[in-house]
Amino acid sequence: MYKLILLDLDGTLLRSDKTISEYSIKTLDACRQKGMMIGFSTARGESNAKQFIEQIKPEIIISSGGALVTYKENIIYTCMFSESETKTLIKTALSVTDNECEITVDTLNGHYWNYKINPNYSDWGEIIHTDYTDFCESSLKICIQINDYSNAQKIAKSVGNCTFTRFSDVDWYKYSKQGASKESAIEAIEKTLSISPNDIIAFGDDYVDLEMLKCCGKGIAMGNAIEEVKSAADDVTENNDNDGAAKYLERWIL
């Protein structure tokens, strides 16, 4: 019996239409009734996952790719860029792209974006538009629209202790403070709750899920996962549109 089920959201628990099926909701509820905690582990900022948090009410939320962890709404881990580091990353990104790139920034207070056209994402919660001219906040995560790896690398090198990862399905990179990872977040959870890696089963599909699947007792790749994730996982389930995570839990855990 696992003590914690960790689920990535996009491409994992969420179907392609950004909904959670009733079947998945009922399956997770059945797991909770057997004494297991439910956790989200997502690259989204917590405010961008609000509607899904309200649906499932997870005990644990790893958000912004591991930069923030809450347990029953109490913060147990943070790893952030300072105000000056955030400014430098934004300034460098705009410089190497001739002010053409779009940038999103997660803070403890909200999700910021210098979008040119309002994306109107119904599943994304509140988006605060800004041109970053007077932006002065510490950040949990910064995502930058860029398709040139060398420029992406220049941005990362503009500050110390910065890691960056490309999203597999779009020309965007995620920038995080070193230590802001799903793996580090899980270590904080294990320490706070006095549980071991073997007490955790995790589900994911993309590059940012690789270390999470490796460091948990059991890591399950979705059928729609990238090949690197499938290779690193202990097992592969059906895809997200077929409720692969819930089906795996029902068959092997319940």
Are 205 and 224 spatial neighbours (Cβ–Cβ below 8 Å)?
Answer: yes
Strand partners, 151: none
Confidence label for 202 from pLDDT (cuts 50, 70 and 90): very high
Strand partners, 187: none
pLDDT at res. 181: 92
pLDDT at res. 208: 87
Are 110 and 126 spatial neighbours (Cβ–Cβ below 8 Å)?
Answer: yes
Which of 155, 147, 204 is CA-nearest to residue 172?
A: 147
Name the DSSP class of 238. -
Q: Decide yes or no: CATH 1.10.287.810 for domain 4-78+180-253.
A: no
Which of 159, 152, 194 is CA-nearest to residue 173?
A: 152
CATH 3.40.50.1000 domain residues, the chain: 4-78+180-253
CATH 3.30.1240.10 domain residues, the chain: 83-177
Q: What is the pLDDT of residues 30-69, one digit of tens each?
A: 999 999 999 999 999 999 999 999 999 999 999 999 999 9
CA 179, CA 78: separation in Å to the nearest integer? 9
Please list, in sequence order, all residues whose beta carbon lies within 8 angstroms of the beta carbon of residue 218, skipping any fewer than 6 positions away.
Answer: 2, 200, 201, 202, 234, 235
CATH of segment(s) 83-177 = 3.30.1240.10
Q: What is the pLDDT of residues 163-181, one digit of tens each?
A: 999 888 789 999 999 999 9
